[in-house]
Structure 1
Amino acid sequence: MRRLPIVAVLAGLALVTAAAPASAAPHRTPRNPVTAGVADTFADPAVIRGDDGFWYAYGTSDPLRSGEGTPHLLPVLRSTDLARWSYVGDAFTAANRPAWATPTAGLWAPDIRRAGDRWLLYYTVTDTTLNPGDDSAIGVATAPGPAGPWTDSGAPLVGPRPAAGGGFLWTFDPAGLTDATGQRWLYYGSYFGGIWTVPLSPDGLRVTGAATQVTIDNRYEGAYVVRRGGWYYLFGSAANCCAGPTTGYSVFAGRSKSPTGPFVDRDGHSLLASRVGGTPVIQPNGNRWIGTGHNAVVTDERGRDWFVYHAIDRGAPYLDEPFGINRRPMLVDRLDWVDGWPTVRGGRWASDPGAPDKPWSVTPKRLVWSDEFSAGLSPGWSWVRPDPDATVTGGALRWPTQAADLVGPGNDASVLVRDAPAGDWVVETKLSIDLGVDTVRNYQQAGLVIYAGDDDFARLSHVAIWNTRQIEYGRELPYAGGLSYGGMVETPPADTTWLRLAHRTDRTGEHEYRAATSLDGRHWTWGGVWTFPAGPAPRIGLVAHGGDNPPATALFDYVRLYR
């Protein structure tokens, strides 16, 4: 490999002088956001270490600063220690932009790899000149070193893929892998179409075989695959990347003995199943960081793994407030491996220097109230828009899903609510609902709700999302004179699923609610956190509503409240 000169030239940019190599720099613990001072936003980061000792990071094309306006075309940063970063330049400029991308196409989600004496930069083009309109594809550029200059290959590596019902599948988010035999692979795809992988030539510039689907559609994007201990771990980002203050983006993992799958989660659930699997790696944890997703993994000179990703500060979610591009700075945290599964900071997830970690107490200690639905509703319940079809019979609340919703301004769905107690508590319900599998029943659902009002709630429900069945933990709140809705997702549901929400107040008085799911009522997987402002606590309740007919009947076996 030819070493880069001390003075590197990036196409179309001024000269940049190199600093001391990383191996000579003292170790620093990254302090999030690590791009503070250089970039207000740096989404979909990919990181690699160069022969010169620097770490190089590549991000999606956006303006780097508020008020800047013009996007940088795949901006490049570098660092000696993963903690302090400086701007190098942009992989592309107006002069060397890929000719097969339309003038308005976005260049997104780069991935950086090395092949022999060249460096490969894979990236998404959102619209090509082949079928202008919305035909995304994957491109590749080469350079003699990680700082460039970059030369595009001249054509898509993975071209636009027509969808069966018209339009094109989302061919986004490339990620490379070299397997144990030396074979190169490329992963790509997104919600519309799922994630796929194809084999590549040794130089990484040609597809050499058929594509294999590795995740069901409508669940994952932002694939990243690592090999560890004889397993291939597929990281995938789930839910919405870019809903401002309600962004629930999170990362899950599955593993396989083969780079083509099948990938399954810790409990054996397939990432290709309608009730889609995934072991949580990181989710919003109640501090300022939400939308924690689209990751890369790097290993430092001491053999420690680091999780590189973007997130959104819920107090400043847009680049140019009150709306605009979602502000997604780059974060770096330790990646731990617990019982063979990856989790960020041992399950504490995103670090925030301004909010010291506070352990959750989520084990129910004492039952303080329950409704077993044995003889009508117990005292304390009240209705927001009563539903006469909801009845208590046979030891359960039986509630057919309404053709109604809470999301948006319509607010025609019924909600069964009661006051929440003071202090810390856990509410639990046992829910049975038959939403089928693989079919489309948008967006029928039932579950728990934290209800401050029709436009201010968090909803934990078993929901049909196109052909998938998922547990969604959604949040709606008023923002800048309008409404913002987004959600995170949790582990897979079953015909009967147990749901929990744990409540506590943080040091500022905000109310935090953490979600959990179980398939047997004994073993629980704890997930993400939504917050509500300080003041009176919202009420707790139940919902059963959604779109497509015929309705499904939700059976709530009980609601129990624990200290």
Structure 2
Amino acid sequence: MKSKLIIAVLLACALKTMAQQPAANARNRGRFQVGDVTTDPGVRDPCMAKEGDTYYVYFTGGGIQVWASKDMKSWTKQPSVFSVAPEWVAQRLPSFKGLGFWAPDLSFHNGLWYLYYATSIFGKNTSVVGVATNKTLDPNSKDYKWVDGGMVVQSVTGRDDWNAIDPNLAVDENGNGWLSFGSHWNGLKLVKLNPDFKTIAEPQEWYTIASRPRDYKYTDPEPGNGQIEAPFIFKKDKYYYLFVSWDSCCSGVNSTYNVRVGRSEKITGPYMDKEGVNMAKGGGTLVRGGDTGDNKVFYARGHNSVETFDGVDYIAYHAYTTTYERLGIEKLAWENEWPVVIVKK
């Protein structure tokens, strides 16, 4: 939690570092290919979308930052989602200041783009997930306007053993919306939404879809072993695939972030890994992690999203190098109905 709360500061430092290295950035800009990571922008918690002929990446910090590209190679900064925080955030979290919104999730349904995001109070699971909608992602369109949809869910320290951050919307085969979310504490949760995709359906039923044994208390300011966060549910053929991130983010070369997956024929689970272990009981098959061996370039990869563009499946994540977080985009293949990253040679 502590590491999440200093995101804005670290991101600002990263951008300052980039500004101080114009020659290096100029050499690398324009050479990005799928399977590489970007020099610019540096991101955390990316989600991707495509509208028309333009790709967008939304990510943590600065009121939710946005970059756009025509080719997934060269990116241009766009306006942030928020220039001021919605009034309800301070009402729910009285000590909240600034624009420290995290982990956006973006998808298109019912003629609207739905953007879910989170923020929290330092050292606690007093957290909220909010939603905003827009008719278009193009800031040059006359229809471009983010409309605040209010709070979707809140976790309260002392009441809840889960944490309302890292949201992801998934829609089942019947068109029902489901919100997954969670970071550390007692695992990742799933709850059904009403047809407006903004409020929780009644009667409320909460599912634990992934969890890990832990060696720390809920009141510890920093989690120890057993860290898990950032659920993302992706439907492929008959299965729902649950991607999650294990271990430590936000620590540069000391980060140990890695992406795990399990699958289920029901959106509510249980999600089982390749070995048949339930993800709610510590299961999870490795999809992507840090480099191994002595010549590491990327020390960790995590907090992913998965999208399909023009019939091709992609995984996007942030990768830790010796300098700062970078955006990674790779193609996914499916072997025996399990996702496999196509590693660029």
- Alignment match, 2:308: 299
Structure number with larger C-alpha Rg:
1
SS at match of 1:272: helix
Pick from 311, 314, 318: which aligns with 1:310? 318
1:288 is aligned to 2:297: yes
For residues 402-441 of structure 1, what are the structure 2 equivalents within 5 Å? none
Pick closer, same or farther for the CA change 1:98–1:282 going to 2, 3 Å: farther
- Alignment match, 1:333: 330
Rounded to whole Å, the distance in 1 between the matches of 2:288 and 2:35 is: 17
Rounded to whole Å, the distance in 1 between the matches of 2:257 and 2:236 is: 25
Pick closer, same or farther for the CA change 1:133–1:305 going to 2, 3 Å: closer
TM-score by length of 2: 0.77
Rounded to whole Å, the distance in 2 between the matches of 1:242 and 1:211 is: 29
2:114 alignment partner AA? L
- Alignment match, 1:215: 210
1:152 is aligned to 2:148: yes
Rounded to whole Å, the distance in 1 between the matches of 2:183 and 2:199 is: 21
Rounded to whole Å, the distance in 2 between the matches of 1:309 and 1:133 is: 25
Pick from 74, 83, 87: which aligns with 2:73? 83
- Alignment match, 2:216: none
2:134 alignment partner AA? A
SS at match of 2:60: coil
Q: What's the offset of the Cα at 1:29?
A: 3.7
2:82 alignment partner AA? F
Q: What's the offset of the Cα at 1:231?
A: 0.7
- Alignment match, 1:43: 44
Q: What's the offset of the Cα at 1:220?
A: 2.1
SS at match of 2:80: strand
- Alignment match, 1:30: 34
Q: What's the offset of the Cα at 1:143?
A: 1.4
SS at match of 1:100: helix
Q: Is the 8 A contact 1:105 1:125 kept in 2?
A: no
Q: Is the 8 A contact 2:233 2:242 kept in 1?
A: yes
Q: Is the 8 A contact 1:109 1:123 kept in 2?
A: yes
Rounded to whole Å, the distance in 1 between the matches of 2:87 and 2:43 is: 21
Q: Is the 8 A contact 2:162 2:189 kept in 1?
A: no
Question: Identity over the aligned pairs, expressed in percent?
Answer: 28
SS at match of 1:153: strand
Pick closer, same or farther for the CA change 1:225–1:267 going to 2, 3 Å: same
Pick from 201, 206, 214: which aligns with 2:199? 206
1:341 alignment partner AA? W
Q: Which runs of 4+ in 1 moved over 3 A?
A: 96-99, 161-164
Q: CA RMSD in A?
A: 2.2
- Alignment match, 2:221: none
Q: What's the offset of the Cα at 1:300?
A: 2.0
- Alignment match, 1:262: 270
Q: Is the 8 A contact 1:116 1:203 kept in 2?
A: no
Pick closer, same or farther for the CA change 1:342–1:281 going to 2, 3 Å: same
1:289-339 superposed Cα distances (whole Å, 9 cap, x missing partner): 1220111112221x22111110011x22xxxxxxxxxx2111111112122
- Alignment match, 1:123: 117
Q: Is the 8 A contact 2:273 2:284 kept in 1?
A: yes
Q: Is the 8 A contact 1:42 1:60 kept in 2?
A: yes
1:136 alignment partner AA? S
Q: Which has the higher contact order (CA 8 A, sep 6+)?
A: 2
Rounded to whole Å, the distance in 1 between the matches of 2:86 and 2:65 is: 13
1:87-113 superposed Cα distances (whole Å, 9 cap, x missing partner): 11100013x545424215731000001
Q: What's the offset of the Cα at 1:82?
A: 2.1
Pick closer, same or farther for the CA change 1:105–1:80 going to 2, 3 Å: closer
Rounded to whole Å, the distance in 1 between the matches of 2:115 and 2:229 is: 18
1:136 is aligned to 2:93: no
Q: What's the offset of the Cα at 1:77?
A: 1.1
- Alignment match, 1:60: 60
1:117 alignment partner AA? G
Q: Is the 8 A contact 1:105 1:127 kept in 2?
A: no
Q: What's the offset of the Cα at 1:32?
A: 2.5
Q: What's the offset of the Cα at 1:192?
A: 1.0
Q: What's the offset of the Cα at 1:83?
A: 2.3
Q: What's the offset of the Cα at 1:219?
A: 4.1
Q: Is the 8 A contact 1:252 1:282 kept in 2?
A: yes
Q: Is the 8 A contact 1:105 1:126 kept in 2?
A: no
Q: Is the 8 A contact 1:264 1:278 kept in 2?
A: yes
Rounded to whole Å, the distance in 1 between the matches of 2:195 and 2:88 is: 25
Higher strand proportion, which one? 1
Q: What's the offset of the Cα at 1:146?
A: 2.1
Q: Is the 8 A contact 2:59 2:103 kept in 1?
A: yes
1:63-95 superposed Cα distances (whole Å, 9 cap, x missing partner): xxxxxxxxx21001111222222111100013x
- Alignment match, 1:388: none
Pick from 131, 144, 169: which aligns with 1:176? 169
Rounded to whole Å, the distance in 2 between the matches of 1:244 and 1:215 is: 26
For residues 244-393 of structure 1, what are the structure 2 equivalents within 5 Å? 244-273=252-281, 276-286=282-292, 287-301=296-310, 303-313=311-321, 315-316=322-323, 327-345=324-342, 348=343
**How many residue pairs end up in the alignment?**
286
2:339 alignment partner AA? P
1:213-255 superposed Cα distances (whole Å, 9 cap, x missing partner): 1112544211111111201100000000122212110001001
SS at match of 1:299: strand
2:50 alignment partner AA? R
